[in-house]
C-alpha cells in the first residue's frame, strides 16, 4: 500500500492493491456469472474493465466489497481478505459507484446522502461536516449540498453519487458505467473529476474512448473470465480480439491520432 495526499481535506488518502483469484460465482437462479476470474491491480493503478453485456463485469464489482460472496476463490484489498469479519473495513476501503445514480442517492438531499457513509463509520459533528464539504468540493459540487436528489440533472447526480463514495475516503474506487447517462459536457467533467484522484480505480465501461483517456491498462471479460489484459491502446489495436468481444471504437475514431498518455 502507498500513502498519497490527493488534496481533499488534510487526511492522507491511501490507495490499495486489489487481488482477485479464482473467483467463481453463480446466482441463485443458476446463472453462472463468474467462472474463475484472476486479476491483480496495483495500488494507485487505473484499470478499465471492458467486455460485452453479460460478461460478469458488474458481478465482479459486487464481489470487490463483499456485497456478493464468492462460491469459490477470493478477493483481497490492501492485503485484507474480503470476508464476513472484515466487511466494515472492506466497505470503507472500497467505494462502489453504481450505474444508476438514483440507486446511490437515497436520502432526501445531497448533503445527508454524502453524510450517510461517514456517519456509518462513526463520524459526527464538525468532522462529519468537514467530510461532506470536502467530498462535494472534490467533485466540484459544493452548491449541491442542500439540493433534493430528485431534482438534479444527470451530471449533477453523477457527481453527487461520486461524492457519497469519496466521503468514505476509500482506497479503491469501482465505477460501473460512469459515463452511460451523461451528455458530452458531463462526460468531460467526469473525466476531469476522475483524472486527479489517485486511489486505485476500476472503471467498468462500454465507453472505449473514456477507457483510453483514463486508463493505461484494460482487461476484457467474456463469459465470466478475463480473456485479455494489457495496455489499453495495445488491446484496441488488436482487431480480432476487439471483434471477438463485441468491442468497437466509435465511427471516425482514429487510434493513431489520439494523444498518447
Partner 1 sequence: MGAGHSHALYIHEHSPIHRMAPEAKLVAAFAVVTAVAVTPRQALWAFGLYAFGVAGLVAAARVPPRFLALRLLAIAPFVLFAFFIPFIAGGDTTEIGGVSLSVDGLWGMWNILAKATLGASVSIILTATTEIAEIIRGLGVLRVPAIFTAIATFMIRYLELIVDELGRMRVAMAARGYDPRWLSQARPIASAAGALFVRSYERGERVHAAMLSRGFTGTMPALDHRAARPREWGAVALIATCAAVISALALISS
* 176: β partners: 204
DSSP annotation of 223 reads T
Is 75 one of the binding residues for partner 1 (CB under 8 A)?
no
Is 164 one of the binding residues for partner 1 (CB under 8 A)?
yes
Give CA separation, 30 vs 27, 59, 67, 70, 250, in Å: 5, 14, 18, 14, 35
Other CB atoms within 10 A of residue 18 CB: 25
Stretch that binds partner 1, among 26-34, 35-43, 99-107, 249-257 (CB under 8 A): 99-107
Stretch that binds partner 1, among 27-35, 108-116, 194-202, 241-249 (CB under 8 A): 108-116
Is 147 one of the binding residues for partner 1 (CB under 8 A)?
yes
Contacting residue, 59, 109, 200, 232, with partner 1 by CB under 8 A: 109
CA 256 to chain centre: 28
Residue 93 or 222 having the CB closest to partner 1: 93
Residues 170-229 that bind partner 1 (CB under 8 A): none
Is 92 one of the binding residues for partner 1 (CB under 8 A)?
yes
Is 124 one of the binding residues for partner 1 (CB under 8 A)?
yes
Cβ atoms of 44 and 4 closer than 8 Å: yes
Residue 77 or 96 having the CB closest to partner 1: 96
Residue 112 or 213 having the CB closest to partner 1: 112
- Full DSSP string of 133-198: HHHHHHTT-GGGTTSBGGG--HHHHHHHHHHHHHTT--SEEEEESTTTT--HHHHHHHHHHHTT--
Overall residue count recorded for the chain in this entry = 261
Is 102 one of the binding residues for partner 1 (CB under 8 A)?
yes
Is 65 one of the binding residues for partner 1 (CB under 8 A)?
yes
Contacting residue, 5, 11, 40, 100, with partner 1 by CB under 8 A: 100
Contacting residue, 116, 181, 198, 209, with partner 1 by CB under 8 A: 116
Q: Can you state the percent helix, strand and coil of the chain, rounding each to 5?
A: 40, 25, 35
Write out the H or E segment, with its range, that includes residue 110: helix 110-120
Contacting residue, 19, 128, 241, 249, with partner 1 by CB under 8 A: 128
Catalog residues that contact partner 1 under the rule CB under 8 A.
62, 65, 67, 88, 91-92, 94-96, 98, 100, 102-104, 106-109, 112, 115-117, 119-121, 124-125, 128-129, 147-151, 164-165, 168
Amino acid at each position: 500500500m502507498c500513502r498519497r495526499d490527493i488534496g481533499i481535506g488534510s487526511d492522507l488518502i491511501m490507495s490499495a492493491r486489489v487481488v482477485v483469484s479464482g473467483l467463481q460465482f453463480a446466482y441463485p437462479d443458476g446463472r453462472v456469472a463468474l467462472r474463475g476470474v484472476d486479476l491483480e491491480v496495483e495500488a494507485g493503478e487505473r484499470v478499465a474493465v471492458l467486455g460485452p453485456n453479460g460478461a460478469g463485469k458488474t458481478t465482479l464489482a459486487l464481489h470487490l466489497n463483499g456485497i456478493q460472496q464468492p462460491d469459490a476463490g477470493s478477493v483481497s484489498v490492501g492485503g485484507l481478505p474480503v470476508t464476513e469479519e472484515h466487511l466494515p473495513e472492506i466497505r470503507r476501503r472500497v467505494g462502489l459507484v453504481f450505474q444508476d445514480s438514483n440507486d446511490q442517492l437515497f436520502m432526501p438531499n445531497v448533503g445527508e446522502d454524502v453524510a450517510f457513509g461517514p456517519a456509518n463509520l462513526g463520524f459526527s459533528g464538525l468532522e462529519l461536516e468537514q467530510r461532506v464539504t470536502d467530498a462535494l468540493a472534490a467533485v466540484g459540487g459544493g452548491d449541491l449540498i442542500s439540493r433534493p436528489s430528485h431534482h438534479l440533472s444527470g451530471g449533477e447526480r453523477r457527481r453527487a453519487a461520486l461524492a457519497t463514495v469519496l466521503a468514505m475516503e476509500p482506497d479503491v474506487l469501482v465505477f460501473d458505467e460512469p459515463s452511460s447517462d451523461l451528455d458530452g459536457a458531463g462526460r468531460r467533467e467526469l473525466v476531469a473529476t476522475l483524472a486527479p484522484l489517485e486511489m486505485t480505480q476500476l472503471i467498468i465501461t462500454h465507453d472505449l474512448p473514456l477507457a483510453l483517456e483514463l486508463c493505461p491498462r484494460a482487461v476484457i471479460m467474456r463469459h465470466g473470465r478475463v480473456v485479455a489484459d494489457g495496455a489499453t491502446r495495445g488491446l484496441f489495436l488488436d482487431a480480432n480480439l476487439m471483434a471477438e468481444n463485441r468491442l468497437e471504437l466509435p465511427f471516425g475514431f482514429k487510434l493513431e491520432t489520439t494523444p498518447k498518455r
